[in-house]
Amino acid sequence: MRLLFFTDGLIYFNFGQLSTCILMKTKTKTPFAESFDKRQLELKNVVLSNEGFIKDTDIKIERAERKARDEQLACTTLTRRAFFISCEKFV
C-alpha cells in the first residue's frame, strides 16, 4: 500500500493496480475551503435571486402580451362595428 496524495479531507492510496480514496473527517477547514464555501453560498444566493427576477419578468411579459391581445381584439371589434355602421348609412 502506497500513499498517493492527500487533499482536503481525502487520502488516496494505491494498492498495486487498485487505487482507492478514503474520506477523513477534518474538524477544521483550510482557509481556501472556507473561502470556497463562502463564495459558493454567495453565488447560490445570486442564482436564486436571478431566478426569482426571471420568473417575475416572465409573468409580467405574459400579462403584457395578454393585455396587448385583448386590446388588439377590442380595436378589431370596434373597427368592424364602425365599418358596418358606415355601410348601413349607404344602404
The amino acid occupying position 35 is: S
Give pLDDT tens digits for 54-69.
999 999 999 999 999 9
* Residue 9: per-residue pLDDT: 54
Q: CA-based Rg of the chain, rounded to a whole angstrom?
A: 33
CA distance 70 to 74: 6
pLDDT at 37: 85
Percent of the chain topping pLDDT 70: 66
For the chain, what are the domain ranges? 2-90
Straight-line distance from the first to the last Cα atom of the chain, in angstroms, rounded to the nearest whole number: 105
Contact 43, 36 (CB under 8 A): no
User: pLDDT by residue (tens digit) across 25-56?
Assistant: 555 567 777 888 889 889 998 898 899 899 99
Those residues with Cβ within 8 angstroms of residue 79's Cβ, 6 or more apart along the chain or in another chain: none
Return d(Cα 82, Cα 51) in angstroms, integer: 46
